[in-house]
Chains A and B, each alone.
Chain A
Amino acid sequence: MRNDAQENQQVRRAAGRGVGIRLRALSKAFSGRTVLHEIDLDIAPGEFVAIVGRSGCGKSTLLRLVAQLDAASGGELVYEHAGNDEPEVRIMFQDARLLPWKRVQANVALGLPRQAAPQALNALRQVGLEQRAGEWPAVLSGGQRQRVALARALVHDPQLLLLDEPLGALDALTRIEMQTLIESLWRERGFTALLVTHDVQEAIALADRVLLIEDGRVALDQRIELARPRSRGQAQFAALEEAILARVLRHPGSEAAIEELEPVFAPRGVHQVQWAI
Protein backbone atom coordinates (compact mmCIF):
# COMPACT_ATOMS: atom_id res chain seq x y z
CA MET A 1 0.00 0.00 0.00
CA ARG A 2 2.66 2.46 1.07
CA ASN A 3 4.87 1.40 -1.84
CA ASP A 4 2.07 1.91 -4.29
CA ALA A 5 1.49 5.40 -3.03
CA GLN A 6 5.14 6.29 -3.28
CA GLU A 7 5.36 4.94 -6.80
CA ASN A 8 2.31 6.93 -7.77
CA GLN A 9 3.85 10.04 -6.35
CA GLN A 10 7.05 9.51 -8.24
CA VAL A 11 5.17 9.02 -11.51
CA ARG A 12 3.20 12.16 -10.87
CA ARG A 13 6.23 14.25 -10.00
CA ALA A 14 8.04 13.13 -13.10
CA ALA A 15 5.10 14.16 -15.24
CA GLY A 16 4.26 17.30 -13.29
CA ARG A 17 5.25 20.82 -14.08
CA GLY A 18 5.50 22.16 -10.54
CA VAL A 19 8.22 24.56 -9.46
CA GLY A 20 10.45 24.09 -6.47
CA ILE A 21 10.75 26.87 -3.94
CA ARG A 22 13.87 27.74 -1.95
CA LEU A 23 13.72 30.17 0.93
CA ARG A 24 16.94 31.29 2.57
CA ALA A 25 16.86 33.44 5.72
CA LEU A 26 13.64 35.01 4.51
CA SER A 27 12.35 37.54 7.00
CA LYS A 28 9.64 40.14 7.12
CA ALA A 29 9.11 43.04 9.48
CA PHE A 30 6.21 45.46 9.65
CA SER A 31 7.21 48.84 11.07
CA GLY A 32 9.92 47.38 13.30
CA ARG A 33 7.99 44.29 14.46
CA THR A 34 9.50 41.14 13.00
CA VAL A 35 6.80 38.77 11.81
CA LEU A 36 9.02 36.17 10.13
CA HIS A 37 12.48 35.30 11.46
CA GLU A 38 14.94 34.09 8.83
CA ILE A 39 12.92 31.21 7.44
CA ASP A 40 14.88 28.48 5.61
CA LEU A 41 12.70 26.17 3.61
CA ASP A 42 12.90 23.92 0.57
CA ILE A 43 9.80 22.79 -1.23
CA ALA A 44 10.20 20.14 -3.92
CA PRO A 45 8.51 20.48 -7.32
CA GLY A 46 5.00 19.05 -7.20
CA GLU A 47 4.92 18.85 -3.44
CA PHE A 48 1.81 19.71 -1.45
CA VAL A 49 2.82 21.61 1.66
CA ALA A 50 0.41 22.81 4.32
CA ILE A 51 1.27 25.56 6.76
CA VAL A 52 -0.59 25.57 10.05
CA GLY A 53 -0.33 27.76 13.09
CA ARG A 54 -2.29 29.97 15.42
CA SER A 55 -3.68 33.20 14.03
CA GLY A 56 -1.08 35.93 13.88
CA CYS A 57 1.86 33.51 13.73
CA GLY A 58 2.93 34.79 10.32
CA LYS A 59 1.68 31.98 8.10
CA SER A 60 -0.29 34.24 5.78
CA THR A 61 2.63 36.66 5.65
CA LEU A 62 4.87 33.82 4.49
CA LEU A 63 2.40 32.95 1.76
CA ARG A 64 2.17 36.56 0.62
CA LEU A 65 5.97 36.69 0.42
CA VAL A 66 6.09 33.53 -1.67
CA ALA A 67 3.34 34.98 -3.89
CA GLN A 68 5.42 38.15 -4.18
CA LEU A 69 2.43 40.22 -3.18
CA ASP A 70 4.63 41.75 -0.48
CA ALA A 71 8.38 42.29 -0.59
CA ALA A 72 10.57 40.53 1.96
CA SER A 73 12.63 42.57 4.45
CA GLY A 74 15.58 40.24 4.04
CA GLY A 75 16.75 36.90 2.69
CA GLU A 76 16.04 35.35 -0.66
CA LEU A 77 13.22 33.57 -2.41
CA VAL A 78 14.01 31.46 -5.46
CA TYR A 79 11.67 29.55 -7.73
CA GLU A 80 13.45 26.50 -9.09
CA HIS A 81 12.15 25.46 -12.46
CA ALA A 82 13.34 24.51 -15.92
CA GLY A 83 12.42 27.56 -18.01
CA ASN A 84 13.98 30.97 -17.84
CA ASP A 85 10.73 32.90 -17.80
CA GLU A 86 8.73 33.67 -14.68
CA PRO A 87 6.76 30.63 -13.48
CA GLU A 88 2.96 30.79 -13.44
CA VAL A 89 2.05 31.48 -9.82
CA ARG A 90 -1.61 31.77 -8.87
CA ILE A 91 -3.15 32.53 -5.52
CA MET A 92 -6.54 31.72 -4.03
CA PHE A 93 -7.67 34.03 -1.26
CA GLN A 94 -9.91 33.40 1.71
CA ASP A 95 -12.66 35.41 0.05
CA ALA A 96 -13.18 34.41 -3.57
CA ARG A 97 -12.47 37.95 -4.86
CA LEU A 98 -14.59 37.55 -7.95
CA LEU A 99 -15.34 40.72 -9.87
CA PRO A 100 -19.06 41.20 -9.19
CA TRP A 101 -19.58 43.08 -12.48
CA LYS A 102 -18.30 40.25 -14.65
CA ARG A 103 -20.22 37.09 -15.30
CA VAL A 104 -18.78 33.83 -14.01
CA GLN A 105 -17.12 32.86 -17.28
CA ALA A 106 -15.59 36.32 -17.76
CA ASN A 107 -14.24 36.13 -14.22
CA VAL A 108 -12.51 32.86 -14.99
CA ALA A 109 -11.10 34.33 -18.20
CA LEU A 110 -9.60 37.32 -16.37
CA GLY A 111 -6.12 38.02 -17.63
CA LEU A 112 -6.47 35.68 -20.59
CA PRO A 113 -6.52 36.81 -24.21
CA ARG A 114 -9.96 37.48 -25.67
CA GLN A 115 -10.19 34.23 -27.61
CA ALA A 116 -9.73 32.10 -24.48
CA ALA A 117 -13.45 31.64 -23.78
CA PRO A 118 -13.41 27.86 -24.42
CA GLN A 119 -10.54 27.43 -21.98
CA ALA A 120 -12.50 29.26 -19.29
CA LEU A 121 -15.52 27.08 -19.92
CA ASN A 122 -13.33 24.01 -19.72
CA ALA A 123 -11.95 25.09 -16.34
CA LEU A 124 -15.49 25.69 -15.11
CA ARG A 125 -16.41 22.18 -16.22
CA GLN A 126 -13.58 20.78 -14.11
CA VAL A 127 -14.98 22.40 -10.97
CA GLY A 128 -18.51 21.35 -11.93
CA LEU A 129 -19.95 24.82 -12.58
CA GLU A 130 -20.30 24.78 -16.36
CA GLN A 131 -24.02 25.52 -16.16
CA ARG A 132 -23.46 28.66 -14.12
CA ALA A 133 -21.07 30.26 -16.64
CA GLY A 134 -23.54 33.01 -17.59
CA GLU A 135 -24.55 34.03 -14.07
CA TRP A 136 -23.44 36.96 -11.93
CA PRO A 137 -21.20 36.00 -9.00
CA ALA A 138 -23.72 37.57 -6.60
CA VAL A 139 -26.17 34.69 -7.05
CA LEU A 140 -23.62 31.96 -6.27
CA SER A 141 -23.14 30.42 -2.84
CA GLY A 142 -19.87 30.80 -0.95
CA GLY A 143 -18.66 27.35 -1.95
CA GLN A 144 -19.51 27.94 -5.60
CA ARG A 145 -17.66 31.25 -5.58
CA GLN A 146 -14.57 29.51 -4.26
CA ARG A 147 -14.92 26.90 -6.98
CA VAL A 148 -15.04 29.68 -9.57
CA ALA A 149 -11.93 31.19 -7.98
CA LEU A 150 -10.26 27.78 -8.23
CA ALA A 151 -11.22 27.54 -11.90
CA ARG A 152 -9.82 31.04 -12.46
CA ALA A 153 -6.51 29.96 -10.93
CA LEU A 154 -6.41 26.66 -12.85
CA VAL A 155 -7.16 28.14 -16.25
CA HIS A 156 -3.67 29.62 -16.22
CA ASP A 157 -2.26 26.14 -15.68
CA PRO A 158 -0.23 27.30 -12.67
CA GLN A 159 3.11 25.78 -11.72
CA LEU A 160 2.61 26.94 -8.17
CA LEU A 161 -0.79 27.31 -6.54
CA LEU A 162 -0.93 29.26 -3.30
CA LEU A 163 -3.99 28.78 -1.13
CA ASP A 164 -4.56 31.33 1.63
CA GLU A 165 -7.20 29.66 3.83
CA PRO A 166 -9.51 29.41 0.83
CA LEU A 167 -11.91 27.09 2.63
CA GLY A 168 -11.96 28.91 5.94
CA ALA A 169 -15.36 30.50 5.42
CA LEU A 170 -17.14 27.43 4.05
CA ASP A 171 -19.46 25.06 5.86
CA ALA A 172 -18.14 21.63 6.84
CA LEU A 173 -19.65 19.61 4.00
CA THR A 174 -18.64 22.09 1.29
CA ARG A 175 -15.13 22.10 2.75
CA ILE A 176 -14.74 18.36 2.34
CA GLU A 177 -16.05 18.58 -1.21
CA MET A 178 -13.57 21.36 -2.02
CA GLN A 179 -10.68 19.48 -0.40
CA THR A 180 -11.40 16.45 -2.56
CA LEU A 181 -11.61 18.65 -5.64
CA ILE A 182 -8.33 20.42 -4.90
CA GLU A 183 -6.57 17.13 -4.19
CA SER A 184 -7.76 15.48 -7.38
CA LEU A 185 -6.83 18.50 -9.52
CA TRP A 186 -3.41 18.64 -7.87
CA ARG A 187 -2.81 14.95 -8.57
CA GLU A 188 -3.91 15.39 -12.15
CA ARG A 189 -1.91 18.54 -12.92
CA GLY A 190 1.16 18.06 -10.73
CA PHE A 191 1.59 21.68 -9.71
CA THR A 192 3.30 22.63 -6.46
CA ALA A 193 0.76 23.61 -3.80
CA LEU A 194 1.21 25.67 -0.68
CA LEU A 195 -1.81 25.75 1.59
CA VAL A 196 -2.21 28.01 4.60
CA THR A 197 -4.88 26.74 6.95
CA HIS A 198 -5.81 26.82 10.62
CA ASP A 199 -7.42 23.41 10.31
CA VAL A 200 -4.92 20.67 11.19
CA GLN A 201 -7.23 17.99 9.85
CA GLU A 202 -7.40 19.72 6.48
CA ALA A 203 -3.62 19.98 6.43
CA ILE A 204 -3.17 16.27 7.10
CA ALA A 205 -5.86 15.29 4.60
CA LEU A 206 -4.19 17.17 1.75
CA ALA A 207 -0.51 17.70 2.34
CA ASP A 208 2.70 15.73 1.84
CA ARG A 209 4.25 17.88 4.54
CA VAL A 210 2.77 19.91 7.36
CA LEU A 211 4.73 22.90 8.61
CA LEU A 212 3.90 24.51 11.91
CA ILE A 213 4.82 28.15 12.22
CA GLU A 214 5.20 29.60 15.69
CA ASP A 215 6.29 33.16 16.42
CA GLY A 216 7.57 33.58 12.87
CA ARG A 217 9.68 30.41 12.86
CA VAL A 218 9.16 26.92 11.49
CA ALA A 219 8.53 24.94 14.67
CA LEU A 220 7.63 21.61 13.13
CA ASP A 221 8.16 20.02 9.72
CA GLN A 222 6.08 16.84 9.63
CA ARG A 223 6.01 14.54 6.64
CA ILE A 224 2.64 12.83 6.09
CA GLU A 225 3.16 9.40 4.56
CA LEU A 226 -0.46 8.26 4.46
CA ALA A 227 -1.71 6.78 1.20
CA ARG A 228 -4.10 8.83 -0.90
CA PRO A 229 -7.00 9.31 -0.95
CA ARG A 230 -6.82 9.64 2.79
CA SER A 231 -9.63 8.54 5.00
CA ARG A 232 -10.14 10.59 8.10
CA GLY A 233 -11.19 7.46 9.96
CA GLN A 234 -7.73 5.86 9.76
CA ALA A 235 -5.99 5.32 13.07
CA GLN A 236 -2.77 6.85 11.75
CA PHE A 237 -4.64 9.91 10.56
CA ALA A 238 -6.16 10.44 13.96
CA ALA A 239 -2.86 9.89 15.73
CA LEU A 240 -1.11 12.40 13.51
CA GLU A 241 -3.85 14.92 13.99
CA GLU A 242 -3.73 14.54 17.73
CA ALA A 243 0.03 14.82 17.82
CA ILE A 244 0.19 17.94 15.68
CA LEU A 245 -2.72 19.53 17.51
CA ALA A 246 -1.00 18.83 20.79
CA ARG A 247 2.11 20.48 19.42
CA VAL A 248 0.14 23.54 18.22
CA LEU A 249 -1.64 23.89 21.52
CA ARG A 250 1.46 23.36 23.62
CA HIS A 251 2.42 26.35 25.67
CA PRO A 252 5.16 28.29 23.99
CA GLY A 253 8.33 27.66 25.96
CA SER A 254 7.50 24.23 27.37
CA GLU A 255 9.76 21.44 26.16
CA ALA A 256 7.36 18.53 25.91
CA ALA A 257 8.25 17.51 22.38
CA ILE A 258 6.49 14.86 20.37
CA GLU A 259 9.32 13.34 18.44
CA GLU A 260 7.55 9.99 18.14
CA LEU A 261 5.06 10.33 15.37
CA GLU A 262 5.20 6.73 14.21
CA PRO A 263 1.86 4.96 13.88
CA VAL A 264 0.18 5.02 17.26
CA PHE A 265 -2.99 3.06 17.70
CA ALA A 266 -4.49 5.05 20.45
CA PRO A 267 -8.16 4.59 21.26
CA ARG A 268 -10.21 7.14 19.40
CA GLY A 269 -12.99 9.27 20.79
CA VAL A 270 -16.21 9.96 18.93
CA HIS A 271 -15.10 13.49 18.07
CA GLN A 272 -12.22 12.08 16.06
CA VAL A 273 -14.30 9.92 13.77
CA GLN A 274 -16.89 12.50 12.89
CA TRP A 275 -15.33 12.94 9.45
CA ALA A 276 -15.30 9.25 8.66
CA ILE A 277 -18.45 9.49 6.52
Chain B
Amino acid sequence: MTSASNPVTSTTVAAPQAQGKPRRVGRKSGAQRGAWIGWLLPALLLLWWEVAAQAGWLSSRILPEPWAVLKAAWELSASGELWRHLAVSSGRAASGFAVGAGLGLILGLLSGSLRSAELLLDTTLQMVRNIPALALIPLVILWFGIDETAKLFLVSVGVFFPVYLNTFHGIRSVDQGLIEMAKSYGLSGWPLYRDVILPGALPSILVGLRFALGLVWVLLIVAETISAQAGIGYMTMNAREFLQTDVVLVGILLYALLGKLADTAARWLERFWLRWHPGYQ
Protein backbone atom coordinates (compact mmCIF):
# COMPACT_ATOMS: atom_id res chain seq x y z
CA MET B 1 0.00 0.00 0.00
CA THR B 2 3.00 2.27 0.21
CA SER B 3 2.78 2.95 -3.50
CA ALA B 4 -0.85 3.97 -3.08
CA SER B 5 -0.04 6.67 -0.56
CA ASN B 6 1.96 8.47 -3.26
CA PRO B 7 0.86 12.10 -3.06
CA VAL B 8 -1.32 13.37 -5.86
CA THR B 9 0.73 16.50 -6.33
CA SER B 10 3.96 14.88 -7.53
CA THR B 11 3.28 15.85 -11.10
CA THR B 12 6.27 17.82 -12.34
CA VAL B 13 8.12 14.62 -13.09
CA ALA B 14 8.50 14.38 -16.86
CA ALA B 15 7.49 10.72 -17.21
CA PRO B 16 3.73 10.63 -16.83
CA GLN B 17 3.13 7.18 -18.30
CA ALA B 18 5.55 5.70 -15.86
CA GLN B 19 3.93 7.71 -13.13
CA GLY B 20 0.20 7.10 -13.48
CA LYS B 21 -0.25 3.49 -14.49
CA PRO B 22 1.90 1.45 -12.06
CA ARG B 23 0.44 3.33 -9.14
CA ARG B 24 -3.02 2.24 -10.21
CA VAL B 25 -1.92 -1.37 -10.54
CA GLY B 26 -0.31 -1.24 -7.11
CA ARG B 27 -3.48 0.14 -5.59
CA LYS B 28 -5.66 -2.56 -7.10
CA SER B 29 -3.56 -5.51 -6.01
CA GLY B 30 -3.28 -3.93 -2.58
CA ALA B 31 -7.06 -3.64 -2.33
CA GLN B 32 -7.48 -7.29 -3.37
CA ARG B 33 -5.02 -8.40 -0.73
CA GLY B 34 -6.87 -6.31 1.82
CA ALA B 35 -10.25 -7.75 0.84
CA TRP B 36 -9.73 -11.24 2.21
CA ILE B 37 -7.76 -10.02 5.22
CA GLY B 38 -10.86 -8.04 6.16
CA TRP B 39 -12.88 -11.26 6.45
CA LEU B 40 -10.24 -13.06 8.51
CA LEU B 41 -11.30 -11.68 11.88
CA PRO B 42 -15.06 -12.36 11.46
CA ALA B 43 -14.28 -15.91 10.33
CA LEU B 44 -12.06 -16.55 13.35
CA LEU B 45 -14.70 -15.12 15.69
CA LEU B 46 -17.33 -17.36 14.11
CA LEU B 47 -15.10 -20.40 14.54
CA TRP B 48 -14.42 -19.58 18.17
CA TRP B 49 -18.14 -19.04 18.74
CA GLU B 50 -19.06 -22.42 17.25
CA VAL B 51 -16.38 -24.20 19.27
CA ALA B 52 -17.45 -22.47 22.48
CA ALA B 53 -21.11 -23.36 21.90
CA GLN B 54 -20.28 -26.99 21.07
CA ALA B 55 -18.14 -27.32 24.18
CA GLY B 56 -20.99 -26.00 26.30
CA TRP B 57 -19.18 -22.87 27.50
CA LEU B 58 -22.07 -20.75 26.18
CA SER B 59 -25.66 -21.37 27.20
CA SER B 60 -27.99 -21.39 24.18
CA ARG B 61 -30.15 -18.89 26.12
CA ILE B 62 -27.29 -16.40 26.01
CA LEU B 63 -25.86 -17.18 22.60
CA PRO B 64 -27.00 -20.07 20.44
CA GLU B 65 -24.43 -21.72 18.21
CA PRO B 66 -23.93 -20.25 14.71
CA TRP B 67 -25.44 -23.38 13.20
CA ALA B 68 -28.70 -22.76 15.09
CA VAL B 69 -28.74 -19.15 13.90
CA LEU B 70 -28.24 -20.34 10.34
CA LYS B 71 -31.04 -22.85 10.75
CA ALA B 72 -33.36 -20.18 12.15
CA ALA B 73 -32.52 -17.94 9.21
CA TRP B 74 -33.25 -20.80 6.81
CA GLU B 75 -36.59 -21.57 8.42
CA LEU B 76 -37.60 -17.92 8.47
CA SER B 77 -36.73 -17.44 4.83
CA ALA B 78 -38.37 -20.72 3.81
CA SER B 79 -41.62 -19.67 5.45
CA GLY B 80 -41.37 -16.31 3.69
CA GLU B 81 -41.56 -14.44 6.99
CA LEU B 82 -37.99 -13.14 6.70
CA TRP B 83 -38.59 -11.71 3.22
CA ARG B 84 -41.75 -9.97 4.34
CA HIS B 85 -39.91 -8.25 7.22
CA LEU B 86 -36.93 -7.49 5.03
CA ALA B 87 -39.13 -5.91 2.37
CA VAL B 88 -40.93 -3.73 4.90
CA SER B 89 -37.68 -2.59 6.55
CA SER B 90 -35.97 -1.90 3.23
CA GLY B 91 -38.99 0.06 2.08
CA ARG B 92 -38.85 2.21 5.22
CA ALA B 93 -35.10 2.72 4.87
CA ALA B 94 -35.40 3.65 1.21
CA SER B 95 -38.28 6.08 1.62
CA GLY B 96 -36.78 7.69 4.74
CA PHE B 97 -33.44 8.01 3.00
CA ALA B 98 -35.02 9.43 -0.14
CA VAL B 99 -36.93 12.10 1.76
CA GLY B 100 -34.15 13.02 4.22
CA ALA B 101 -31.20 12.88 1.85
CA GLY B 102 -33.20 14.52 -0.95
CA LEU B 103 -34.17 17.46 1.23
CA GLY B 104 -30.63 17.65 2.63
CA LEU B 105 -29.20 17.75 -0.87
CA ILE B 106 -31.61 20.40 -2.13
CA LEU B 107 -31.26 22.68 0.89
CA GLY B 108 -27.49 22.10 1.01
CA LEU B 109 -27.15 23.09 -2.64
CA LEU B 110 -29.39 26.09 -2.06
CA SER B 111 -27.63 27.52 0.98
CA GLY B 112 -24.23 26.59 -0.43
CA SER B 113 -24.88 28.50 -3.65
CA LEU B 114 -26.98 31.45 -2.51
CA ARG B 115 -25.81 33.72 0.26
CA SER B 116 -29.41 34.77 0.98
CA ALA B 117 -30.53 31.15 1.42
CA GLU B 118 -27.63 30.56 3.79
CA LEU B 119 -28.59 33.58 5.88
CA LEU B 120 -32.17 32.42 6.00
CA LEU B 121 -31.64 28.72 6.68
CA ASP B 122 -28.29 28.02 8.22
CA THR B 123 -28.78 29.35 11.75
CA THR B 124 -32.02 27.42 12.17
CA LEU B 125 -30.61 24.21 10.77
CA GLN B 126 -27.45 24.44 12.87
CA MET B 127 -29.65 24.72 15.97
CA VAL B 128 -31.90 21.82 15.04
CA ARG B 129 -28.84 19.77 14.10
CA ASN B 130 -27.73 19.61 17.72
CA ILE B 131 -30.90 17.83 18.80
CA PRO B 132 -30.33 14.07 18.52
CA ALA B 133 -32.99 12.64 16.23
CA LEU B 134 -33.79 9.94 18.78
CA ALA B 135 -34.55 12.56 21.45
CA LEU B 136 -37.57 13.48 19.33
CA ILE B 137 -39.21 10.08 19.81
CA PRO B 138 -41.71 11.14 22.50
CA LEU B 139 -42.75 14.14 20.47
CA VAL B 140 -42.92 12.13 17.28
CA ILE B 141 -45.23 9.60 18.92
CA LEU B 142 -47.45 12.42 20.12
CA TRP B 143 -47.54 14.01 16.69
CA PHE B 144 -47.80 11.05 14.37
CA GLY B 145 -48.89 8.23 16.62
CA ILE B 146 -47.04 4.98 16.10
CA ASP B 147 -47.66 4.29 12.44
CA GLU B 148 -45.46 4.61 9.38
CA THR B 149 -45.29 8.41 9.38
CA ALA B 150 -43.45 8.43 12.69
CA LYS B 151 -40.79 6.03 11.41
CA LEU B 152 -40.40 7.91 8.16
CA PHE B 153 -40.02 11.16 10.05
CA LEU B 154 -37.36 9.83 12.42
CA VAL B 155 -35.27 8.30 9.66
CA SER B 156 -35.56 11.39 7.45
CA VAL B 157 -34.55 13.83 10.18
CA GLY B 158 -31.52 11.74 11.11
CA VAL B 159 -30.39 11.34 7.50
CA PHE B 160 -31.00 14.97 6.56
CA PHE B 161 -28.14 16.58 8.47
CA PRO B 162 -25.08 14.67 7.29
CA VAL B 163 -26.22 15.19 3.69
CA TYR B 164 -27.07 18.86 4.22
CA LEU B 165 -23.83 19.72 6.00
CA ASN B 166 -21.56 17.90 3.58
CA THR B 167 -23.32 19.32 0.53
CA PHE B 168 -23.06 22.84 1.93
CA HIS B 169 -19.40 22.35 2.76
CA GLY B 170 -18.73 20.78 -0.65
CA ILE B 171 -20.22 23.71 -2.56
CA ARG B 172 -18.33 26.21 -0.46
CA SER B 173 -14.98 24.49 -0.85
CA VAL B 174 -14.98 24.28 -4.65
CA ASP B 175 -11.66 25.70 -5.89
CA GLN B 176 -12.24 29.42 -6.53
CA GLY B 177 -9.48 29.37 -9.14
CA LEU B 178 -11.45 26.88 -11.22
CA ILE B 179 -14.61 28.99 -10.96
CA GLU B 180 -12.67 32.09 -12.02
CA MET B 181 -11.14 30.19 -14.92
CA ALA B 182 -14.53 28.86 -16.06
CA LYS B 183 -16.07 32.32 -15.88
CA SER B 184 -13.23 33.75 -17.98
CA TYR B 185 -14.05 31.05 -20.52
CA GLY B 186 -17.59 32.33 -20.73
CA LEU B 187 -19.33 29.82 -18.45
CA SER B 188 -22.08 31.10 -16.21
CA GLY B 189 -25.43 30.03 -14.83
CA TRP B 190 -26.38 26.38 -15.25
CA PRO B 191 -23.35 25.32 -17.37
CA LEU B 192 -21.02 26.71 -14.70
CA TYR B 193 -22.99 24.86 -12.05
CA ARG B 194 -23.09 21.60 -14.00
CA ASP B 195 -19.48 21.57 -15.22
CA VAL B 196 -17.62 23.12 -12.31
CA ILE B 197 -19.47 23.64 -9.03
CA LEU B 198 -21.44 20.39 -8.82
CA PRO B 199 -18.56 18.05 -9.77
CA GLY B 200 -16.28 19.98 -7.44
CA ALA B 201 -18.67 19.47 -4.55
CA LEU B 202 -19.35 15.82 -5.41
CA PRO B 203 -16.62 14.20 -3.26
CA SER B 204 -17.98 15.95 -0.20
CA ILE B 205 -21.62 15.21 -1.10
CA LEU B 206 -20.78 11.52 -1.43
CA VAL B 207 -19.15 11.49 2.00
CA GLY B 208 -22.44 12.82 3.36
CA LEU B 209 -24.46 10.20 1.48
CA ARG B 210 -22.27 7.40 2.74
CA PHE B 211 -22.55 8.63 6.29
CA ALA B 212 -26.32 8.89 5.91
CA LEU B 213 -26.58 5.35 4.50
CA GLY B 214 -24.93 4.02 7.64
CA LEU B 215 -27.18 6.10 9.84
CA VAL B 216 -30.40 4.90 8.17
CA TRP B 217 -30.16 1.47 9.74
CA VAL B 218 -29.35 2.76 13.22
CA LEU B 219 -32.42 4.99 13.14
CA LEU B 220 -34.55 2.26 11.65
CA ILE B 221 -33.74 -0.22 14.44
CA VAL B 222 -34.90 2.26 17.05
CA ALA B 223 -37.95 3.31 15.06
CA GLU B 224 -39.02 -0.29 14.51
CA THR B 225 -38.59 -1.30 18.11
CA ILE B 226 -40.97 1.45 19.30
CA SER B 227 -43.89 -0.34 17.81
CA ALA B 228 -44.45 -2.01 14.51
CA GLN B 229 -46.39 -4.81 12.90
CA ALA B 230 -43.64 -5.82 10.54
CA GLY B 231 -40.00 -5.23 9.84
CA ILE B 232 -36.74 -6.66 11.10
CA GLY B 233 -36.96 -4.65 14.32
CA TYR B 234 -40.43 -6.03 14.97
CA MET B 235 -39.25 -9.55 14.22
CA THR B 236 -36.39 -9.16 16.69
CA MET B 237 -38.52 -7.67 19.46
CA ASN B 238 -41.12 -10.36 18.96
CA ALA B 239 -38.50 -13.10 19.19
CA ARG B 240 -37.22 -11.59 22.41
CA GLU B 241 -40.67 -12.03 23.96
CA PHE B 242 -40.54 -15.72 23.18
CA LEU B 243 -36.85 -16.07 24.16
CA GLN B 244 -35.92 -17.05 20.60
CA THR B 245 -32.31 -15.94 20.88
CA ASP B 246 -31.48 -17.42 17.49
CA VAL B 247 -34.07 -15.25 15.73
CA VAL B 248 -32.86 -12.18 17.63
CA LEU B 249 -29.39 -12.94 16.31
CA VAL B 250 -30.74 -13.37 12.78
CA GLY B 251 -32.23 -9.88 13.04
CA ILE B 252 -29.04 -8.33 14.38
CA LEU B 253 -26.88 -9.98 11.75
CA LEU B 254 -29.33 -8.88 9.09
CA TYR B 255 -28.84 -5.26 10.14
CA ALA B 256 -25.07 -5.71 9.94
CA LEU B 257 -25.40 -7.22 6.48
CA LEU B 258 -27.74 -4.50 5.22
CA GLY B 259 -25.44 -1.79 6.60
CA LYS B 260 -22.49 -3.35 4.84
CA LEU B 261 -24.50 -3.63 1.62
CA ALA B 262 -25.47 0.04 1.75
CA ASP B 263 -21.85 1.00 2.36
CA THR B 264 -20.68 -1.09 -0.58
CA ALA B 265 -23.28 0.55 -2.80
CA ALA B 266 -22.03 3.98 -1.71
CA ARG B 267 -18.48 2.95 -2.51
CA TRP B 268 -19.50 1.82 -5.98
CA LEU B 269 -21.09 5.21 -6.53
CA GLU B 270 -17.85 6.88 -5.43
CA ARG B 271 -15.82 4.67 -7.72
CA PHE B 272 -18.01 5.62 -10.64
CA TRP B 273 -18.59 9.32 -10.01
CA LEU B 274 -15.12 10.07 -8.73
CA ARG B 275 -13.23 7.99 -11.25
CA TRP B 276 -11.32 11.12 -12.24
CA HIS B 277 -10.03 11.46 -8.69
CA PRO B 278 -6.57 9.95 -8.16
CA GLY B 279 -7.71 8.78 -4.73
CA TYR B 280 -10.37 6.49 -6.23
CA GLN B 281 -8.52 5.01 -9.20
Contact = CB atoms under 8 A, between A and B. Distances in A.
A interacts with B: yes
Interface of A: 67, 69, 89-91, 93, 95, 97, 99-103, 110-111, 135-145, 152, 156, 169-171, 173-174
B15 A141 contact: yes
Contact of A138 (B181, B186, B196, B278): B278
A142 B11 CA distance: 5
15 contacts: A69-B184, A90-B184, A97-B180, A99-B182, A101-B200, A111-B186, A138-B276, A138-B277, A138-B281, A141-B12, A141-B14, A141-B16, A141-B19, A142-B12, A173-B14
Contacts of B14: 141, 143, 171, 173-174
A100 B277 contact: yes
Interface in B185-203: 185-187, 195-196, 199-200, 202
B24 to A, nearest CB: 9
Nearest to A97: B181
Nearest to B273: A101
B8 interface: yes
A144 B14 CA distance: 9
B12 A171 contact: yes
A141 B185 contact: no
Given A110-B182, A141-B13, A144-B16, A93 B177 contact: yes
A67 B185 CA distance: 11
A140 B187 contact: no
Contacts of B177: 93, 95, 97
Contacts of B187: 110-111
B20 A139 contact: yes
B265 interface: no
Contacts of B20: 135, 138-139
Contacts of B195: 99, 102, 110
Contacts of B11: 140-142, 145
A134 to B, nearest CB: 12
B8 A170 contact: no
Given A95-B177, A142-B11, A100 B184 contact: no
Contacts of B200: 101
Nearest to A68: B184
Contacts of B8: 138
Given A91-B184, A97-B180, A135-B20, 9 more contacts: A69-B180, A90-B184, A99-B196, A110-B182, A110-B187, A138-B281, A139-B278, A141-B12, A143-B14
A90 B186 CA distance: 10
Contacts of B278: 138-139
B1 interface: no
Contacts of B15: 141
B178 interface: yes
B28 to A, nearest CB: 15
Contact of A139 (B16, B182, B196): B16
